[in-house]
């Protein structure tokens, strides 16, 4: 859909697109793709709550690129007097590319479904079928379908037009968008502001990484990872604020652990996927690698393997290679909580008050040792999560940061 990384020639050998106006920001975007999206809107193929502002009124502008990698297409968006984050289509539908990151899409989305003549009831059936395939028979899927229809009604006229349905269908192929809709009422999910085709706008978050400073991806390539980790720890908020952010992350783990629509797995618990606002409330910046457990099991089932290294999705969802069958098993080894505690260990222990340092370290190591296969895992999971939250909260509840 759009590209942040430098000024490479566009498909067909064309020169880079001219910068798009964006207040005081300039950006080199794939203007051809943006024009194609707006052409689809102007010819009545797609519609959505952001289309008019993006393509007709020109009150939604692309601002500076927020991505540190070429395959994460996020921009600051300026929409009238509001600031948001514009996310472009970045992943294939149901693309489980084990061991690699999705590249920006190279083909144009056709927006060919639903077809002309599809009734609202038929569209509801399509959406229901999609949810059933992704989530299984969990929760109240009909309620979720109604939620999607309400969101798809971009102009709020009480009905979903065919162009609005085409945009909604394209977006629903993305796990991140689906999860955002499911968790829209949760504190740590950024609010969806609008959409057009397969582009969507979410609320802006002040800080777009858990810690560290954001560097251009080309510079990142030349910094040794050990030095980068040390450098990151120099650029963190004060300890009480880190504790508040960590509590938010633990609450998010609760939100996606056996919620009303099943369990979701965090397959990339990188600090770059997490952000926080000026009140130090955690917000999830990138949820592309948070996938329905049922979906992942289906995809990894019977995958050929020689070692456990062949049974990894993203960076953090690992299963075991069954050597007798040379096939991957479906049970992910580490629960979300263990992966999150691994991420938080250095973050929380550095600068922790001396009177809780030892207990905090003990709880974090107990947490990291959690295994999915252990008996009573759910009980242990809840106990450790609550212990950690209580330990942190007791220490900061009397400070201004709480």
Distance CA 97, CA 72 (A): 16
Q: What is the mean pLDDT of residues 239-246?
A: 95
pLDDT at 23 over 60: no
Kind of pairing, strands 60-65 and 274-276?
unpaired
pLDDT at 170 over 80: yes
Specify the pLDDT at position 149.
93
Distance CA 95, CA 289 (A): 11
Which single residue is written with the structure tokens 């004060």?
A: 238
Q: How confident is residue 261, by pLDDT bands cut at 50, 70 and 90?
A: confident
Specify the pLDDT at position 21.
39
Start-to-end C-alpha separation, the chain:
40
Q: What is the mean pLDDT of residues 25-51?
A: 78
Q: How confident is residue 73, by pLDDT bands cut at 50, 70 and 90?
A: confident
Specify the pLDDT at position 66.
74
pLDDT at 84 over 70: yes
Would you call 188 helix, strand, or coil by DSSP?
Answer: coil
- Are the C-beta atoms of 294 and 251 separated by less than 8 Å? no
Distance CA 337, CA 371 (A): 10
Specify the pLDDT at position 27.
39
- SS3 for 64-106 is EECCCCCCCCEEEEEECCEEEEEECCCCCCCCCCCCCCCCCCC
Specify the pLDDT at position 10.
27
User: DSSP assignment, residue 195?
Assistant: E
Distance CA 266, CA 376 (A): 21
Distance CA 288, CA 266 (A): 9
pLDDT at 221 over 90: no
Cα torsion angle, 386, 373, 266, 195, sign? negative
For the segment 120-135, what is each residue's pLDDT rounded down to a tens digit? 999 999 999 999 988 8
- Are the C-beta atoms of 384 and 337 separated by less than 8 Å? yes
Least confident among 41-50, 204-213, 245-254:
204-213
Specify the pLDDT at position 267.
95
Asked if omega into 294 is within 30° of 0 (cis), the reply is no
Specify the pLDDT at position 321.
95
pLDDT at 68 over 70: no
Q: How confident is residue 7, by pLDDT bands cut at 50, 70 and 90?
A: very low
Mean model confidence pLDDT for the chain: 82
**CA angle centred on 65, ends 59 and 69, rounded to 5°:** 145
Specify the pLDDT at position 228.
60
Q: Exposed, middle or buried, 320 (CB in 10 Å: 0-12/13-18/19+)?
A: middle
Give the relative orientation of helices 336-349 and 354-368 as an angle to the nearest 10 degrees.
Answer: 160
State the CB neighbour count (10 A cutoff) for residue 246: 22
Residue 138 structure tokens: 């969990």
Asked if omega into 285 is within 30° of 0 (cis), the reply is no
pLDDT at 72 over 50: yes
User: E strand or H helix at 169, and its extent?
Assistant: helix 162-172
- Are the C-beta atoms of 284 and 179 separated by less than 8 Å? no
2 or 308, greater pLDDT: 308
122 or 272, greater pLDDT: 122
- Are the C-beta atoms of 332 and 293 separated by less than 8 Å? yes
Domain ranges of the chain: 28-89, 120-195, 217-397
Q: How confident is residue 234, by pLDDT bands cut at 50, 70 and 90?
A: low
User: DSSP assignment, residue 273?
Assistant: G
- Of 132, 122, 136, the residue nearest 165 (C-alpha): 122
Q: How confident is residue 96, by pLDDT bands cut at 50, 70 and 90?
A: very low
Would you call 396 helix, strand, or coil by DSSP?
Answer: helix
Q: Exposed, middle or buried, 102 (CB in 10 Å: 0-12/13-18/19+)?
A: middle
Distance CA 349, CA 132 (A): 42
| Architecture of the domain whose range is 217-397 | Orthogonal Bundle (1.10)
Q: What is the mean pLDDT of residues 252-268?
A: 90
User: DSSP assignment, residue 398?
Assistant: T
- Are the C-beta atoms of 262 and 135 separated by less than 8 Å? yes
């Amino acid at each position: 859909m759009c590209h942040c990384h430098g000024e490479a020639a566009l498909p067909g050998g064309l020169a880079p697109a001219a910068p798009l106006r964006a207040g005081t920001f300039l950006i080199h975007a794939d203007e051809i793709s943006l024009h194609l999206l707006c052409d689809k809107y102007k010819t009545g193929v797609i519609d959505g709550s952001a289309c008019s502002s993006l393509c007709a009124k020109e009150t939604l502008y692309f601002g500076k690129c927020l991505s540190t990698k070429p395959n994460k297409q996020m921009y600051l968006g300026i929409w009238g007097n509001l600031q948001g984050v514009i996310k472009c289509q970045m992943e294939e539908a149901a693309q489980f590319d084990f061991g690699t990151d999705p590249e920006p899409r190279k083909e144009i989305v056709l927006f060919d479904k639903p077809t002309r003549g599809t009734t609202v009831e038929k569209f509801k059936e399509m959406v229901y079928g999609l949810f059933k395939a992704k989530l299984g028979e969990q929760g109240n899927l009909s309620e979720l379908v109604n939620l999607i229809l309400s969101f798809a009604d971009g102009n709020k006229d009480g009905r979903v037009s065919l162009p609005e349905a085409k945009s909604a269908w394209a977006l629903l192929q993305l796990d991140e968008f689906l999860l955002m809709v499911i968790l829209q009422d949760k504190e740590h999910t950024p609010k969806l502001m609008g959409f057009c085709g397969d582009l969507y706008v979410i609320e802006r978050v002040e800080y777009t990484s858990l810690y560290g400073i954001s560097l251009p991806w080309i510079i990142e390539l030349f910094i040794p990872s050990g030095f980068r980790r040390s450098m990151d720890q120099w650029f963190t908020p004060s300890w009480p604020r880190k504790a508040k952010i960590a509590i938010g992350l633990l609450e998010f783990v609760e939100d996606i652990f056996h919620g009303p629509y099943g369990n979701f797995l965090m397959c990339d618990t990188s600090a770059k996927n997490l952000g926080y606002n000026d009140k130090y409330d955690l917000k999830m910046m990138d949820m592309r690698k948070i996938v329905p457990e049922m979906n992942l099991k289906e995809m990894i089932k019977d995958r050929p393997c020689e070692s456990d290294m062949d049974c990894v999705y993203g960076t953090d969802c690992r299963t075991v290679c069954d050597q007798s069958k040379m096939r991957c098993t479906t049970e992910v080894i580490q629960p979300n909580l263990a992966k999150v505690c691994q991420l938080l260990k250095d973050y929380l222990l550095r600068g922790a008050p001396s009177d809780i340092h030892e207990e905090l370290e003990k709880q974090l190591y107990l947490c990291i040792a959690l295994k999915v296969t252990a008996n009573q895992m759910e009980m242990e999971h809840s106990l450790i999560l609550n212990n950690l939250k209580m330990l942190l909260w007791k220490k900061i509840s009397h400070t201004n940061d709480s």
